[in-house]
Amino acid sequence: MRLFATAAAAVLGIFVGTSVDAIAPIEIKGNRLFEYGTGKPFHAKGLDYYPRPNSGELNVNNLDFFTDDHESIWKPHVAEFIALGINAVRLYAVDASKSHDKFMCALSEAGIYVLVDLASSCQDCAITKDPYPACYPAPLKTRGQQIIAAFSKYNNVLAFSAGNEVNHFVKSMEISAPCQKKFIKDMRAYISSCATNMRYIPVGVVLADHQRSENALYYACRTDPTDELENAECRSTDHLHSHLKPFLLGYGLNAYLQCDPLASLNPGQVGAGYRKLLDDFTSYELAIPTILTEFGCLNVGFPTVDGFQAQRTWVDAAWLLSPTFADVFAGGFAFEFSTESDNSKSDSPFPFKTFGAQNYGLGYLEPETCDADKTPCVFQRMPNFDSLAVAYGNASTAGLPERSSYSPSHTTPPQCPAGVPSIVGVLWPADSETDMLCPDLTQTPLCPGDIINTGKASPPKPSVKTVSPVKGMPTVPPSAPSPPSPGSSTQGNPATVAGPGVVGVVVMATVAWSMVRV
């Protein structure tokens, strides 16, 4: 993930508080992810993050909590991210007009990447329920370009997601899927047009687990066989400044499949839902990465631990990150960081110890009336936090091939499903929108150690300005805790995190995402 101050530290897996280089961007080859420069394989051990307070004006959906002026909200959570062992978070809504320097650079220092959603629930901020082409509002094109321009300077942007579960609202993909596909193409075209200014950042899509095969094949295929921007680019780059087209990150799926409380009794046996998932996506032969962007089923039958009912055991995180899944899936994002009181209180009120249909948190925020303004919200872990930390801590990419030795099994787009609409020959309202100017990254402060990577030509000289470090940020990933036994009343050893400047052992781990925010 990061180059460290001494060779011994790198060899021994030691995390030193002072690094000599920035976090490496992630690049794609075939359907796998790799660290740029090192070529090491990368699996997303992710977390869906939306720290919504329990009350007050900030207790709403689709608010950008990740700005500089909300530092007091997110800053304490970075230590929890490190303790959990994640290497990626997913953000559901961002405001491109505000600075995210502190948040993004703090995560970069912690070795954490960010999946940024381009859509939101505001007016004209997402694909709508209308039949195509009206489902793609013209202002959405500008919004997407604004977010890409604002976030393109951060090396730890894993990818952009062009939408969240458009198929959750419209069950028939023929109605609005062409709008989603066209929006993806437009965002990739903008990145391609700015390739002398910034790197080729992947653009993907996130869908609910409906019409699984039709959606997976549609978003990976070309309705116009000559249009390389419509689907994932199947060729790979040897350098970020190559002249190839930008990549589509691939297919993000929100899937809640491991709902069997007995699975933890035999964790080495992959559950039926995940076996079917693996079989299905293996048969699609996609030449792009696939990630579970939300995962973590709830079931009242999961064990009670320390008085908290229905604590997820996260055996599915171990399955997803195992070598068995590695040639099809590139990791996932566990849903979610903290239980949202407004969603959960009807059947599992504060402090959320009872089973509830929306009690998805790895923890919760207290006190009950915290508003993240006059009354700060403090994160308290639930027992399933430690179970996920164990699963992530035990997962490793050590046995997977590095980029230089990896040969993709599939290199061409699949055939489009029968009967699905083409995006060619359609009068799209967004085509009348003027594209934004490309960002000039030489004039903006970068995270300490970052350089400007570009898709074409030689990287330009960056600004001499850097983002000031956030004071008091932890930098040491801890050892993973011991897992609680199924049905146990004890929590085991809680995950811990050391402060700045301490030396510890690096433990990397990842997870994946079915809550609708857009």
Average pLDDT of the segment spanning 186-192: 95
424 within a domain of the structure (yes/no): yes
| Number of domains composing the chain | 1
1 within a domain of the structure (yes/no): no
456 within a domain of the structure (yes/no): yes
2 within a domain of the structure (yes/no): no
pLDDT digits (tens, 9 = 90+) for 145-174: 999 999 999 999 999 999 887 777 777 888
Average pLDDT of the segment spanning 279-308: 96
* Distance between CA atoms of residues 223 and 231, nearest Å: 9
40 within a domain of the structure (yes/no): yes
Reported as type and span, the H/E element at residue 72 is helix 71-84
* Distance between CA atoms of residues 482 and 186, nearest Å: 47
Range of the domain at 222: 7-505
pTM: 0.86
Would you place residue 293 in the very low, low, confident or very high pLDDT band (cuts 50, 70, 90)? very high
Average pLDDT of the segment spanning 231-237: 44
Angle between helices 212-220 and 173-193 (to 10 degrees): 30
Reported as type and span, the H/E element at residue 8 is helix 7-12
Average pLDDT of the segment spanning 337-346: 98
Would you place residue 21 in the very low, low, confident or very high pLDDT band (cuts 50, 70, 90)? low
516 within a domain of the structure (yes/no): no
**Helix/strand/coil (H, E, C) string of 85-132?**
CCCEEEECCCCCCCCCHHHHHHHHHCCCEEEEECCCCCCCCCCCCCCC
pLDDT at 236: 38
Q: Where are the beta strands (DSSP E) in 247-362?
A: 248-254, 290-294, 331-334
pLDDT at 244: 29
Q: Which residues pair with 334 in a beta bridge?
A: 47
517 within a domain of the structure (yes/no): no
CATH number at residue 196: 3.20.20.80
510 within a domain of the structure (yes/no): no
pLDDT digits (tens, 9 = 90+) for 418-451: 988 999 999 999 999 999 999 999 889 999 988 8
Please state whether the peptide bond connecting residue 367 to the residue before it is cis, i.e. omega within 30 degrees of 0.
yes
